[in-house]
Structure 1
Amino acid sequence: MNYDTPVQAEDGAYSSEAYSSHEPTKGRGKLWLVVAVLVVLLLIIGAAYMFVTRGNAAAGDAETEAQGAAITVISPGKTTVEGEIVASGTLAARRELPVGVAGEGGRVVRVFVDAGSWVKQGQVLASIDRSVQNQQAASAAASVRVAESEARLAQANLDRALKLVERGFISKADIDRLTATRDTAVARVSVAKAQANELTARNARLNIVAPASGLVLERNLEPGQIVGGGSGALFRIAQGGEMEMMALLSETDLAKISTGVEAKIVPSGTDKSFTGQVWQVSPTIDPQTRQGTARIALSYAPELRPGGFANATISSGTAVAIVLPESAVLSDSEGAYVYIVDKENKAQRRAVQTGAITSEGVSITGGLDGTEAVVVRAGGFLNPGETVRPQRADKAGK
């Protein structure tokens, strides 16, 4: 007993010590188990939330895809617009005067003007050597004086004879002869004067003069040059400095304008515009190009240079038409077209005929009646039959 009792006490001491060393380990294990369960629950809840969210998003996308893309449309109606025709052409002098040699010509002595000079009617532009002609004129003047002397002598002889005929010293026949001599002398004076005047006029034609006031456009003459009747135009003058634009128009556009309508001209190389009026509409159409010419009168300006290129915007009156924003009108190899949205919200292509381009947009002359829902923009990204969600916008908000 005494042997066993220490043993039991020893065993009891061992058991108590063993319990105290394993109890904390067991508590920590339970704690980790609880944490693990909570993490799993959170993961399950997160996965469920993401699944539901993605499902809703997919449903929303499917609904949006079923409805189509949002597209802005407009019902343009009809409005009164100022008709305009845009054309191109060349600038020229309204009345161009070619100036050449009027007389027999000769060697140019002096040129008084250059291209760009303003001249007056009758102003001498150039002079030609006239040394030979001056001698001929002097000879003709001398012939006039001789003829006048002979005429005076013949008149004096006749006067003396008339005084003597009363006394019977001169017969009637002598009087007739002296009268004829006097008349012949007077006629010779007239012939001599006519010849002298002719030479004077010929000499005057050796001066090259301006036939009218205006602006010298070309000078094709230099001192020392030999000129004659076959030398062609030595100067070109714009009468009054007036210019014009010769605008080329299709026969359809040509029929829309008349003389007196206003036009805006913008020469190439400048952004400055000039106002003119159509003063002549071509009565014929070129059978090759199917075009005619509208001549637009312009006042002189340094920017208007004959031979230059220019663009014209010609007024063609008012008209009632459909006007669309430029973004709504598309074009390809088949021509101009727009997209309209039908009652089933499907985009449909519609061919149109376009007219003048104004500050408000492009006028439509055919293909629409104004009540359609026309796609304002992004029409280039649509396909015929594609479903869209039309959003209407008033005309001012286009």
Structure 2
Amino acid sequence: MVGKRSILILALTGLFLTACGEPKTDTTKPVSLMAVNVVQPAPAVFGATLVLQGTVTAKEQIAVGTPLQGLQILRVDAEVGDWVKKGQVLAQLENTNVQAQLQQHTAQLAKAEANLRSQQASLKEAQTLLGRYRELIKIDAISRQEFDSQQAKVDTAQASVQTAQAEIAEIQAQITSSHHQKDKAKVIAPADGVVIARHAQSGSLTDNNALFVLAKGGVMEVHAQANASEIAQLQPSLSAQVQLPDGGVRTGKVRLLPSEVASNNRLGVVKISLEQGDFVPSGTPATTHIRLADVQASLALPMSAVAFTSPTDASVMVIDQNQTAIRKAVTVGVMREGQVQIMSGLTADDLVVKQAGAFISEGDKLLPRLAQGENQ
């Protein structure tokens, strides 16, 4: 009886010792943090090229027309792209009536000049005879009546000469007018330049519209649109490379910056003068690459790391020492070629999430991953 009880006690004791000696199993699983790519702000040199889209046009345009309306255009002597000199004939208008009038006036002038010569001869003859009469009347060889009659003939001859001279002057004025009309039938270049538009067509009639448009002095430029931020980076005389649709490249310089931007699209027109070269048609689209002055940035980040709520309000997501995501407001400066200058809000030791648009919320626990060479 005693033996059985002892065995039972020993068995229970063994079970108790066995239970106490067995290790407990931990069922808690370790937390796995999401890894994100990060970058650190670092110094950078912003040596960038600003690219603007624009159109080639003349710096100064001259519209060339004619005051003569309804005349037929007989000949066109200038084409788009031609360099013309001041006074050069661009087109010839119909001038048959003017030419006929000129021939008629020329014939009238010849007749009037012949009449003047005849009247001058008569005057000379009358004056010579009057001189003789003066001597004769002194000795009473002729009567006073005869002398006065000869004097009247001289006066009449003088009047006839004056009338003939007046007639010639009138005809000469008509000839001058005809020459002017004839000259008007020629469309003349008012200055040196390049023809950038031709509206004159042989056989058509003239009206009050321009027949040609010239680029004065052949000076062409690009009018490119830029926003306020882009305009702020520019200054006159900056060098530019202008790419044309045919693959050609022209050099130029920034000539004029806009004093204001348009209210409808917030854009202004930057004018880039082109150096002389092969003719570029007005209206040709052009891509202008303007080399900007270098900017030294003490800290910079990739553009992808910065979130913008407005052109001036920006922020980044930073991972702190506790591996917690924190949003920080930053002040930005120059933005060029995918980089942003950080003026304030960060230090060089901060770990910034590389993709600002990543699905990360403030307070998330993250594992920062700084790849080699990704501090910029």
Matched to 1:226, the amino acid is L
Which residues in structure 2 correspond to 1:150-165 (within 5 Å)? 150-165=115-130
Identify the residue that residue 326 of structure 2 maps to in structure 1: 348
- Work out whether 1:192 is the aligned partner of 2:171: yes
SS of corresponding position for 1:223: coil
TM-score (norm 1): 0.67
Identify the residue that residue 89 of structure 1 maps to in structure 2: 54
Identify the residue that residue 223 of structure 2 maps to in structure 1: 246
- Work out whether 1:294 is the aligned partner of 2:267: no
Residue 118 of structure 1: CA displacement? 4.1
- Work out whether 1:384 is the aligned partner of 2:350: no
Q: Which has the larger radius of gyration?
A: 1
Partners in 1 of 2:275 and 2:185 — Cα distance? 33
Gaps of 5+ in 1: 1-51
Residue 294 of structure 1: CA displacement? 2.0
The question of whether the paired residues in 2 share the 8 Å contact of 1:70 and 1:388 is answered with: yes
Identify the residue that residue 126 of structure 1 maps to in structure 2: 91
Identify the residue that residue 42 of structure 2 maps to in structure 1: 76
The question of whether the paired residues in 1 share the 8 Å contact of 2:222 and 2:272 is answered with: yes
- Indicate the percent of aligned positions where both proteins have the same amino acid: 27
Identify the residue that residue 309 of structure 1 maps to in structure 2: 285
Partners in 1 of 2:65 and 2:156 — Cα distance? 52
The question of whether the paired residues in 2 share the 8 Å contact of 1:85 and 1:356 is answered with: no
1:303–1:130: structure 2 CA closer, same or farther, 3 Å change rule? closer
SS of corresponding position for 1:286: coil
Partners in 2 of 1:311 and 1:386 — Cα distance? 45
Partners in 2 of 1:389 and 1:75 — Cα distance? 18
- Work out whether 1:218 is the aligned partner of 2:180: no
Partners in 2 of 1:182 and 1:369 — Cα distance? 104
Partners in 1 of 2:278 and 2:328 — Cα distance? 48
Partners in 2 of 1:152 and 1:111 — Cα distance? 45
1:287–1:358: structure 2 CA closer, same or farther, 3 Å change rule? closer
Residue 296 of structure 1: CA displacement? 1.4
Identify the residue that residue 3 of structure 2 maps to in structure 1: none
Residue 200 of structure 1: CA displacement? 1.4
1:294–1:71: structure 2 CA closer, same or farther, 3 Å change rule? closer
Gaps of 5+ in 2: 1-24, 135-146
1:270–1:149: structure 2 CA closer, same or farther, 3 Å change rule? closer
Partners in 2 of 1:189 and 1:326 — Cα distance? 86
- Work out whether 1:266 is the aligned partner of 2:266: no
Higher helix share: 1
Partners in 1 of 2:152 and 2:373 — Cα distance? 112
- Tell me which of 241, 257, 280 is aligned to 1:281: 257
Identify the residue that residue 131 of structure 2 maps to in structure 1: 166
TM-score (norm 2): 0.70
Count matched residues: 335
Partners in 1 of 2:169 and 2:97 — Cα distance? 24
